[in-house]
Structure 1
Amino acid sequence: MTDETDAAGEPTTPGDPAAAASSAPADGPAASPPGLGASLATFAKRHRLALSITGGALAVALLGTGAVLTGAALNAGGPAVDTIAASASATPTPTADPARPVPAAAIPASRIRTCSVADRAADGRLANLQAQVVNAATGEVLYDRGGTTPSRTASVMKVLTSAAALSVLGPDYRATTTVVKGSEPGSVVLVGGGDVTLSRTPSGTETVYPGAAHLDDLTAQVRAAWDADPSNPPLNKLVLDASLFGGDEWEPSWDVVEREDGYMSNVTALQVDGDRDDPGANTSWRSPDPIGRAGDAFASELGGISVIERGTAPAGAAQLGAVSSPTVAQLIDKALIVSDNTIAEMLARLVAIKAGTGNTFGAINAGVLQGLAPYGIDTSGITVVDGSGLSDNNAVPPSYLTRLFVKINAREGNLGVIMDGLPVSGERGSLSYSDRFSGDNSVADGAVSAKTGWINSGYTLSGVVRAQDGSTLTFAVYALGDVSDDTKQAIDTLTTGFFLCGDNLSNR
């Protein structure tokens, strides 16, 4: 039989009364009732092995955890007590309660702006006001009144047309008018390339279009080329080819008074002096037949022409002469500074043709939007019916213009051409007229570069304000509905408010 051990690990001998006596506590509980102690002693003596096994198992259970920790320490070569102490003193890592909401990062406090233009905006002359103002440096919207609603723009549309032309055509593009041999002996074809600036005045004469080409130059080229071939018979027939532009010459939504009052010509690929009666006057009566007038002027220069008819140039015909328009950059300057409608329509139609969307009024929307796409501003909701803005059916939100003018002010790409062509309050173009930024509003002279707009159903203004506090703002103001001539002054007064407030402009 194997020796047993007691709780202290000392060897004992089974049945030793002395061992049983020594295991009693020195200050145990009071004496048991008579007979109970003897019975327990007898039981213990008889079942000493079972009790020893039970006690040992209990000791092992109590010491199990410590033994594991001690063993780990011993295996590592260090004292067990150090490992236990370290475990006891370690700080548990808290576990996040997934049910408890975690506070978001603190939102920076917004600046409280205190400069109000509420009284200026309440002017009844503004009719149905839509407006937006943006800090050009930060992109923050400082002021908004229906700024995301697409509405008619009047001549502010010319800014979009110009931006599309710079993207699709480029600033150096020129439209070219050519003359080629006709299919019949003694005939030539005058082929319109969309240049509305071509002038019937003598070379060296300054028209409303600086840098315009002249018919007498084209005639000299044709005569020289024709006479250089002795086999050519005398010239006697002129064919007019204006097929580059198609569809209606007059947009159905336009008021014909625009033509009668001298603000707009029919849209044709062949015309001279924008079809003006007076080539030196921005506003001058226009005819219902600009193609015919251009043909008459060229035939008069050539001499000997007895027949003039409409047609198209033969494929592969020999070229006899060519002259080109001013550059797109020069044309944009003219379109913006005095709001030349005919130039704007020329640019819009050439954009559509170059973009591949067509050559009619119906092709302008897709062509211009394609030209605007590279600027990265959402064009959702925009409708472009024409290039000039004469139609009430155009629709552009003020918010598009404020964002486009941020890029124009920064001269992104070729957009600096537009910035340089804008009227300036009290100094240049349509904002320098006596009825603009006058009186108290003259405090903003030189500080506002913007495109003006006017049709019977609204006045508009959009551009850049270099504010009094040194900030730069972009803005768009639409006054739509029942408006009158003095609505222009109400718009100027509101814009002067933007100038005075600067970055402290309140949206209240």
Structure 2
Amino acid sequence: MHESDQPDVGPDPSTTPIPPTPPADSSALPAHSSAASEPPTTTGSGRRAAARPAGVAGFGAGVMTAIRKHPKTWIAAAGAVAFVLLGTGSVALGATIGAPAAAVGIAPTGTPTPTRTASATPTPTPTVDPARPVPANQAAATRVRTCSVAGLAADGRLGSLEAQVVNAKTGQTLFDRNGVKPGPTASVLKTLTSAAALATLGPDYRVPTTVVAGSTPGQVVIVGGGDVTLSRLPAGQASFYTGAPKIQDLANQVKQAMGGQPITSIVVDATLFGAPFWQPSWDEREERVVEGSTPYMTALMVDGDRDDPTAVESPRSTDPVSRAVQYFQQYLGTSVGVSQGVAPAGARQLGVVQSQPVTTLIDQAMRVSDNTIMEELARLVAIKNGAGNTFDALNAGVLAGLKGYGIDTSGIHIADGSGLSADNAVPPSYLTQLFIKVLNRQNGLGVVYDGLPVAGKSGTLGPGYNRFTGSSSVARGAVFAKTGWIDHGYTLSGIVNAADGTPLTFAVFALGNVGDNAKQAIDSLVAGFYKCGDNLSNG
């Protein structure tokens, strides 16, 4: 107990003045009678014990005689005694309810001598009102944050909002709106596909395209390994995919390996990827033809099956395999017949070319949100994890690839590798946890961080994309995030280096009846995260 909390205690009874001896005539009371001046003693327990000196009976008779002779004087004296006794009682009461009271001892005769004897007072056991249950562990005091983005979060352009913000250093959730509710991610899903590919395939894995000898003399078999970056452009000409292997180089290796033997037939083995080659939930006309972002996902193709091999987006065909074989024949310098089949087991290799490593593929796909590379990686992950080689295998395959990161995948559903399907479902809370690992470059995830678009600077958040403009431009250069858009959904998720120096991870899904202006509403909200930093309030 602090000193300021201790109750006041009345005057020490040992210092209370003894009332004067009332006047009496000499015949009634001796002038120096000790019986008249000696107060009653107390026992060790505090109870009063009467003093019994000699001549008590005579003393009582003398007092009564004195009272009859001098009534006014004795009435006044009695009042003084009562006053003292009441005062003494108050002190006793104060001692009872305050600190442990000192016992007071009186000498048998003469002037009272105070003595103090230590008396241990047991600590009272607190009682708990059964009507008011008390938690076993009291919650620690938490900081009150005062920077609110509630108005920005209520913007109608955001539709049905799902969002979460986490302090990446402490792991504390600062802001949450339906953050554990799984929702369609759009291209933000590419971060999960990238993480699964790094864990399953490894950062240095390169995707091969090979040619082996067929089962008859002069027959060659081209085997698609799933590399969508293989280019039809001749040596010296750069395709859209940086450092892409050339089908011309593959054909030249085959001619050299044949040693002048004529090629009699070509067999195409594209069985690595199973049908259907188009995800049923995708809008084929929009994605393949109008926007030109996504091809039929076959195991053999050139330049992502673009009509223009140098463009980010370009219309795609309905038969990627045939386009690839056409250029293979051209570089072989033959027009022999082509059939589909399977390469003989243990066949002699005639040539091979390889893609850039997985890290390079992820970097390029993340920067420009390339659907084709991500669909390739997701399919290869599913195959490597034994889940199968079709779209239906992607959920089990990718989730198996994510298992090693130790983040709960409950509620996640993977319908494709690019995020194009509205059937994908991931809670924002998963992304905020995954991006902490990305920020810390755990398990090789630094490549994902390096490939993230930067607000106002690069990728799909850079110049030409109309992002983080106006008042939101305050966060330019501080937001590293993956963008996403599908019908009825706009998303953004990644990392904010806040104004106060706090690293934040965030995910924002604007879902439902939303339009293109949802992007500006998302940018405003994320700029609010940037300005608030660790003072961001959930209110």
TM (norm. structure 1) is 0.79
Summarize the alignment of residues 486-501 of structure 1 with structure 2, pairs less than 5 Å apart.
486-501=517-532
Which residue of 494, 498, 502 maps to 1:471? 502
Deviations 1:39-61 (A, max 9, x none): xxxxxxxxxxxxxxxxxxxxxxx
> Matches of 1:102 and 1:157 in 2, distance apart?
45
Deviations 1:14-35 (A, max 9, x none): xxxxxxxxxxxxx9xxxxxxxx
Cα deviation, residue 92, structure 1: 8.4
Residue 258 of structure 1: aligned partner: 287
Would you say 1:113 and 2:141 are equivalent positions? no
Verify the 8 A CA contact 2:179 2:427 in the aligned structure 1. Answer: yes
> Matches of 2:405 and 2:430 in 1, distance apart?
11
Which residue of 235, 247, 254 maps to 2:275? 247
Which residue of 448, 455, 461 maps to 2:479? 448
Unaligned 5+ residue runs, structure 1? 1-26, 28-87
For residue 371 of structure 1, give the secondary structure of its aligned residue in structure 2: helix
> Matches of 1:424 and 1:98 in 2, distance apart?
57
Verify the 8 A CA contact 2:488 2:515 in the aligned structure 1. Answer: no
TM (norm. structure 2) is 0.75
Deviations 1:431-452 (A, max 9, x none): 0033111121111111000000
Cα deviation, residue 111, structure 1: 1.0
Verify the 8 A CA contact 2:228 2:302 in the aligned structure 1. Answer: yes
Summarize the alignment of residues 92-131 of structure 1 with structure 2, pairs less than 5 Å apart.
104-131=136-163
Verify the 8 A CA contact 1:235 1:305 in the aligned structure 2. Answer: no
Deviations 1:413-472 (A, max 9, x none): 111110111000011100003311112111111100000000112100000000001101
Residue 59 of structure 1: aligned partner: none
Residue 317 of structure 2: aligned partner: 287
Cα deviation, residue 288, structure 1: 0.7
Which residue of 261, 266, 281 maps to 1:238? 266
Verify the 8 A CA contact 1:236 1:305 in the aligned structure 2. Answer: no
| Equivalent AA in structure 1 for residue 177 of structure 2 | R
Residue 360 of structure 2: aligned partner: 330
| Equivalent AA in structure 2 for residue 119 of structure 1 | G
> Matches of 1:433 and 1:358 in 2, distance apart?
40
Cα deviation, residue 120, structure 1: 1.2
> Matches of 1:95 and 1:145 in 2, distance apart?
45
Going from structure 1 to structure 2, the CA distance change for 1:440 and 1:91 (only over 3 Å counts) comes to closer
Going from structure 1 to structure 2, the CA distance change for 1:294 and 1:116 (only over 3 Å counts) comes to same
For residue 423 of structure 1, give the secondary structure of its aligned residue in structure 2: coil
> Matches of 1:504 and 1:401 in 2, distance apart?
21
Residue 50 of structure 1: aligned partner: none
Which residue of 448, 455, 467 maps to 1:425? 455
Deviations 1:178-211 (A, max 9, x none): 0011112222111000100000001232211111
> Matches of 1:208 and 1:96 in 2, distance apart?
77
> Matches of 2:278 and 2:364 in 1, distance apart?
21
Residue 404 of structure 2: aligned partner: 374
For residue 413 of structure 1, give the secondary structure of its aligned residue in structure 2: helix
Cα deviation, residue 265, structure 1: 0.6
Verify the 8 A CA contact 1:135 1:141 in the aligned structure 2. Answer: yes
Going from structure 1 to structure 2, the CA distance change for 1:403 and 1:184 (only over 3 Å counts) comes to same
> Matches of 1:115 and 1:169 in 2, distance apart?
43
Going from structure 1 to structure 2, the CA distance change for 1:312 and 1:407 (only over 3 Å counts) comes to same
Which residue of 238, 244, 249 maps to 1:206? 238
Residue 353 of structure 1: aligned partner: 383
> Matches of 1:388 and 1:503 in 2, distance apart?
32
> Matches of 1:118 and 1:95 in 2, distance apart?
47
> Matches of 2:232 and 2:287 in 1, distance apart?
23
Runs of 4 or more off by more than 3 Å in structure 1?
88-106
> Matches of 1:253 and 1:507 in 2, distance apart?
36
Cα deviation, residue 243, structure 1: 0.5
| Equivalent AA in structure 1 for residue 194 of structure 2 | S
For residue 146 of structure 2, give the secondary structure of its aligned residue in structure 1: coil
Would you say 1:304 and 2:308 are equivalent positions? no
| Equivalent AA in structure 1 for residue 389 of structure 2 | N
Cα deviation, residue 372, structure 1: 0.6
For residue 338 of structure 2, give the secondary structure of its aligned residue in structure 1: strand
| Equivalent AA in structure 1 for residue 397 of structure 2 | G
For residue 537 of structure 2, give the secondary structure of its aligned residue in structure 1: coil
Cα deviation, residue 236, structure 1: 3.2
Would you say 1:436 and 2:467 are equivalent positions? yes
For residue 463 of structure 1, give the secondary structure of its aligned residue in structure 2: strand
Cα deviation, residue 306, structure 1: 2.0
For residue 269 of structure 1, give the secondary structure of its aligned residue in structure 2: coil
> Matches of 2:287 and 2:382 in 1, distance apart?
23
> Matches of 2:367 and 2:345 in 1, distance apart?
40
Cα deviation, residue 310, structure 1: 1.3
> Matches of 1:133 and 1:90 in 2, distance apart?
56
For residue 395 of structure 2, give the secondary structure of its aligned residue in structure 1: helix
Verify the 8 A CA contact 1:349 1:359 in the aligned structure 2. Answer: yes
For residue 147 of structure 2, give the secondary structure of its aligned residue in structure 1: coil
Q: Percent of aligned positions with the same letter in both sequences?
A: 61
Cα deviation, residue 125, structure 1: 1.2
Cα deviation, residue 247, structure 1: 2.1
Summarize the alignment of residues 40-59 of structure 1 with structure 2, pairs less than 5 Å apart.
none
Would you say 1:502 and 2:502 are equivalent positions? no
Residue 135 of structure 1: aligned partner: 167
Aligned residues: 418
Residue 147 of structure 1: aligned partner: 179
> Matches of 1:208 and 1:315 in 2, distance apart?
34
> Matches of 1:491 and 1:238 in 2, distance apart?
52
| Aligned residues: CA RMSD | 2.0
Would you say 1:171 and 2:200 are equivalent positions? no
| Equivalent AA in structure 2 for residue 293 of structure 1 | R
Residue 364 of structure 1: aligned partner: 394
Unaligned 5+ residue runs, structure 2? 1-53, 55-117
> Matches of 1:288 and 1:275 in 2, distance apart?
9
> Matches of 1:157 and 1:433 in 2, distance apart?
23
Deviations 1:70-96 (A, max 9, x none): xxxxxxxxxxxxxxxxxx999989999
Cα deviation, residue 99, structure 1: 10
Going from structure 1 to structure 2, the CA distance change for 1:226 and 1:142 (only over 3 Å counts) comes to same
| Equivalent AA in structure 2 for residue 373 of structure 1 | K
Going from structure 1 to structure 2, the CA distance change for 1:443 and 1:89 (only over 3 Å counts) comes to closer
Going from structure 1 to structure 2, the CA distance change for 1:107 and 1:222 (only over 3 Å counts) comes to same
For residue 336 of structure 1, give the secondary structure of its aligned residue in structure 2: helix
